[in-house]
Amino acid sequence: MDTPEWQKNTALHWLVTMNTDTKVLKLVRKSSEEEDHNETTRSTSPPVQLAALPAAETRSFGRSAIDERDVPLDHMDAGRDALVDMYRTMYMSRKLDDKEIQLKGQNRIYFQISGAGHEAILVAAGVSLKAGYDWFYPYYRDRALCLQLGMTPLEQLLSSVGAEADPNSHGRQMPSHWGHKKLNIVSQSSPTGTQLLQAVGCAEASYRVELVPELKRVVKNFHDDEVAYVSLGDGTSSEGEFWEALNTATNLKLPVVFLLEDNGYAISVPVEVQTAGGDVSRLIEGFPSLYMQKCDGTDMLESLATMRRAVDYCRQRKGPAFVHAKVIRPYSHSLSDDEKLYRADEERALEAERDPVKRFGAYLISEHLIDQNGLQKIKDEVDQIVNEAADQALASPQPSVETVTKFVFSPDVDPTSKAFDTEEGAELSGNAGTMVDLINRCLHTEMARDPRIVVFGEDVADCSRDQYLNNVKGKGGVFKVTANLQRRFGSARVFNSPLAEANIVGRAIGLATRGLKPVVEIQFFDYIWPAMHQIRNELALLRWRSGNEWKAPLVIRVPVGGYLKGGAVYHSQSGVSTFTQIPGLRVIYPSNALDANGLLRTAIRCDDPVLFLEHKHLYRQAYNKSQYPPDEFMIPFGKAKRVKEGSNLSIITYGALVQRSLVAAKQAEQDGISVEIIDLRSLVPYDWNAIVASVKKTNRVIVAHEDSLSFGYGAEIAARISSELFEHLDAPVKRVCALDTFVAYAPVLEDAILPQVTDVAKAIAELNAY
């Protein structure tokens, strides 16, 4: 991986001072002794406020920008080299955009979205931060940043052509969806704004290390002054997750640099339509500890000074920084868009005068840092590099079609394997406990075993105000599942979150990326939907879309289901099929206390994201109690349990329908009908072999679950049985499910909507008589 020469020069240090009339940018060479000191300690120089710029203001810099009276002559050479190399990166970024546009016009690539007009602020960000040391959550305009951090033109063009060697995604994502393991550029997705909460979670990892020093050995690439960078466009600031990210970053004073690259448009929608008052900075001024800066993001020197101050503020652990950079968008949003349809010619002409590449090139010439011939030589060299890289990329092999299913799940840890099966012969001890008790015990033992585990969510802590912790009984979750975890393991590992489900899951992804093991709680399944963006588009896809470069193994615990009397529409849902169809997400659904303990331990120890569903009605039922298993008790995923032997027909079920099926089966025995019951326990993956064996044995099958009939989880099981086991069936596959409606409040209505013992008994009788 090639790194620009100027980037290797760690002896170059930028200092910014402010006079009343002019800005002075000084270049000084630090001594090697000072350099070594600063590599291991944080800067203590206070940040300098920079006056905000009007949206369309253009600034030119006279000789005072780099004043020879402030910079000794022998240091000017180093300064010139650095500035010239910054121009080289800016021009290379623009040239790569142009090359991709050319290739798209030739139908040799399939998509293009440019970073044109953003180059100055992005190169400034790259100069101010450390590749492979700090952490980066860019968005699709950040081509110049990635180049500045060390990504090569070839690597970017490999992404354009969808080559297997593409380090961003190995051909799985669109171009300009950045990711680079060695540079700490975390895999980026298309939905705007989802990266913000993950960046906050990434920075939170270092915050947790400060509170729990032993985490230093498990947090990946930890540095005590590391910074998380995250960028966004002006349109993204309309997303709710933007505000959730700012809320947590400022509340915890996390070292996050938010870079708002404001080019005035979100595709065709101008900023004044997106944002009240047309200036998001004015709306967020009230966030505490947020160091806010505005700058002309097309001005290289001003951008550099601003980014330096923002980064230094974060390195000093004073809180997050927010840089609002006004940039331009000289090209359409992407090649799928035509900005001439909605932007006036005069507006586009005015923006062209602020083109950062042209402005900075003209500045270098006017300051005699390079002449026209020297500038042209740089352009010629870059043109050649880009053309050669394009030729190499076009010749690079495409991914093999055999790889398409690789990395949906972890290739290294298999939770369906014998290594996770200690169920047989496990010795139980102590008094029988409920499902709540055994889940709580599992969390206690696993947190004691693994310091990486952090538990958070709404109300999961015993008491957020530590000073009262010993004076109160403690909350420990609305169902008491997390009781006494905070009391035992401390507030740094068990803590409450804002009431914001996307915040919970997004932060957990960032923490998991750094090597921690979040076990988070969504208070009710019915309220999981604000987190769906993070679960579907981020959590489940991170490993696959990055070609196994990045992963986020974590557990989302979710109370689910009805039969509570009074749960009603928003506390009784069971829509599991929405999640079981998401590749990359394990879905587990125990029906009793012992299974919940063993399956949760497997979920925590596996290397994939797991949705762990805990039926609220089953939390404290006497019939599913169990004594406590050993601390190494595990049940592998994809292993069903035969809870009742039978010969006449089979019931394939899970969750609350297991007990209801057992009751119905005992009633059927009085009529001479022998019913076999299979508890799936694990929905993704499910135990197809157990289903096959049971169906071949009884030749008749019922699929029973609490989810609705149409498009419910059982439809997949029924369809596969009909397709693959048709010759073994003596009757059609029958389903017992909830009605295609919502769960109502009145008990008589709830009973009619959800499947009851009588519904299962009726299905048994009808199927046996077929």
Query: Which structure tokens are listed for 177?
Result: 């969806």
3-class SS of residue 579: helix
Of 635, 559, 561, 570, give the one whose Cα is nearest residue 597. Answer: 635
pLDDT of residue 404: 95
Q: How far apart are CA 665 and CA 317, in angstroms?
A: 63
* Residue 2 CB coordination number (10 Å): 11
pLDDT of residue 374: 96
Examine residue 685 and say whether the peptide bond preceding it is cis (omega within 30 degrees of 0): yes
pLDDT of residue 302: 96
Is position 571 annotated as part of the catalytic site? yes
DSSP helix, strand, coil percent of the chain (3-state; round to 5): 45, 15, 40
Q: How far apart are CA 561 and CA 574, in angstroms?
A: 5
Query: Which structure tokens are listed for 261?
Result: 């690259």
Share of the chain above pLDDT 70, in %: 90
> What are the tens digits of pLDDT across the range 173-184?
999 999 999 999
Residue 678 φ then ψ, to 5° = -110, 120
Helices (H), 396-500: 435-449, 485-489
Catalytic residue among 571, 615, 617, 705: 571
pLDDT of residue 188: 95
Provide the angle, in degrees to the nearest 10, between the axes of the packed helices 240-251 and 501-513.
Answer: 60
What is the rounded radius of gyration, in angstroms, for the C-alpha atoms of the chain? Answer: 30
Contacts (Cβ under 8 Å, ≥6 apart) of 188: 137, 138, 139, 140, 173, 177, 178, 179, 195
Low-confidence ranges of the chain (pLDDT < 50): 1-78
Per the CB < 8 A criterion, the answer to whether 461 and 445 are in contact is no
Per the CB < 8 A criterion, the answer to whether 697 and 650 are in contact is yes
pLDDT of residue 565: 87
> What are the tens digits of pLDDT across the range 290-338?
999 999 999 999 999 999 999 999 999 999 999 999 999 998 888 888 9
Query: Which structure tokens are listed for 111?
Result: 């998509």
Q: What is the DSSP string of 628-678?
A: EPPTT----TT--EEEE--SSEEEEE-TTHHHHHHHHHHHHHTTT--EEEE
